[in-house]
Amino acid sequence: MNNNTSKFTKNKYVLNWIDEVVALTNPKEVILIDGGESQIKQLRKEGCSTGEMIELNQKKMPGCYYHRTKPNDVARMEDRTFICSKDEINAGPTNNWKSPEEAYKLGKEIFKNSMTGRTMYVIPYCMGPIGSPFSKIGIEVTDSIYVVLNMHIMTRTGKQALNMLGFTNDFVRGLHGKCTLDETKRYIFHFPEDNTIWSLNSAYGGNVLLGKKCFALRIATYMGKQEGWMAEHMLILGIENPKGEIKYIAAAFPSACGKTNLAMLIPPEIFRNKGYKIWTVGDDIAWIRIGDDGRLYAVNPEAGFFGVAPGTNVKSNPNALAATARNTIFTNVAINKDDMTVWWEKLTNTPPTENMEDWIGRPWNYKTSTEKGANPNSRFTAPAKNCPCISSEWESSNGVPLSAIIFGGRRAKTAPLVYQSRDWNHGIFIGSAMASETTAAANGQVGVIRRDPMAMLPFCGYNMADYFGHWIEMGQKTDKLPKIFHVNWFRTNENGDFIWPGYGENFRVLEWMLKRCENKVDAKEVEIGYVPNIDDLNLEGLDMDKETLNNLLSIDKNLWLEDANGIEEFYNKFNGRIPTELQNELETLKNNLK
């Protein structure tokens, strides 16, 4: 068997681990990914020859390729995702748990000889900028070219990552195998105490790009707890004012609640003309540490965007669309067979042609077909550097200082457009109580309200009550904390229509937040925190009257009392482990509402 790994590293921990994986999976050859463009080019060619990848129109979409997954393998499968901590209590009631012994045993049975006749690819990668004190090294072993090509976009791969690792044992071991793609034996096992991830029988991005949610959140949350930092499901953006000053905000939203749109927002013309700009640091994940000056600093550990395609268009997110113009991989969208370009619902009003293939590969005619051309959770994997509004600080070793943290979700009636927490612990309470309507990004019903604290419910690698406690502990280490806000772009009227126009107009809310951070405006204290005074939210150039805005900021006490009961019900799952500080905040909310 050809194994070239030892040519690139003398790290005994890496070599010993790869030997173990080889003995278990029995590949025909082992190829180490060096991160070089010539090797990637060769893998694209090889992937196209086997049908794993499809080359798109290289004149119209240079460097772009296409991949289809099986119809039963199109989204994260939370019911097949496990935290394998030694003690079940450390996984907590919101995670599925298996003991490490059981998970390793089951995984080994499935992985045994699963790469026979296949090539094993070893991908060293860095989460975060090379050389940054924030950054961490992972190594993913896979039998999928699709995974290699995606990880090359999403992370910093190859020799640079191995050089940063040096001879230490400080790396996350990730093993992925397509195996037989048997959905009854599909598992994603996380072993936080072992820095290990195993993914079996899937070929869909979110389950197999192990640097993404698996490492950057589930394993990293546990690392952060041990080491005194935070891994969060948050975008990071910079707001530049007319004086050229830039303030940074991190924001947590459940999938498909406008996170990428906010990260790449274009301010309304009236603000652009004054000189306001938005700069994208990251669209999905933030690793946050306390800096030497006591402020919280955030980095985006990723190097690309793994975005939901349907709904992305020139109006909703022109910057994301521009990022996909080159060197992008599209998964499960529709293909225009006339010119080998891609299409998805809401990209344009109608597809460019009737001669299309849908995401399963069937002939698709938008005039006669009853099903959608693209899967609702179809994706694009695009390099962050392609984004027209990418921040000059997006690869800063020290990260960017946070002025504000935003929580948000889809609530038709309860949450107002925006409100601010009274203090840090109250902000944690607001984050812990977050609820949103479910979307296609997770398997299950769409439109059902579920609690999703800090948008981390599927991604916290240990007991969520302890995770809330870690937030409280972080707040006790410094007095230079960001202000915390909650937003809801999705409030509806009696006809079910959104009242707030959203998209770029969300900038108006961000502007108010920064004024609050700089103590430039007062706010009105209500039962749940602070809401804007009507005149302090800039509606200039927006077709909205103050009465409508007043409605958007109103509090329905009955709905909030109902919500408080829902929060209490959620807290009760943790059997008394919820921090006292948050229990006290819940009591304060109830008393305020009475």
Query: Residue 92: which of 570, 433, 587, 472 has the closest Cα?
Result: 570
User: How far, in Å, are 530, 553, 581 from residue 594 at the CA level?
Assistant: 18, 19, 20
DSSP summary character for residue 359: T
Q: What is the DSSP letter of 495?
A: T
Give the residue from 18, 403, 72 showing the smallest Cα distance to 248. Answer: 403
Tokens of residue 68, six digits:
């289809």
Q: Are 284 and 302 in contact (CB under 8 A)?
A: yes
Task: Report DSSP state, residue 27.
Answer: -
Of residues 84, 179, 257, 387, which has the active-site annotation? 257
Tell me, rounded to whole angstroms, the distance of Cα 102 from its chain centroid: 29
Residue 441 in contact with residue 459, Cβ under 8 Å? no
Q: Exposed, middle or buried: residue 449 (CB in 10 Å: 0-12, 13-18, 19+)?
A: middle
Cα–Cα–Cα angle for 577, 581, 587, rounded to 5 degrees: 100
Distance CA 37, CA 280 (A): 26
Active-site annotation holds for 389: no
CA dihedral sign, ordered 159, 384, 308, 471: positive
CA distance 366 to 427: 46
Q: Rounded to the nearest 5°, which phi and psi values hold at 577? A: -90, -15
User: In this structure, are residues 217 and 230 in contact, taking their beta carbons and an 8 Å threshold?
Assistant: no
Active site residue ranges: 257
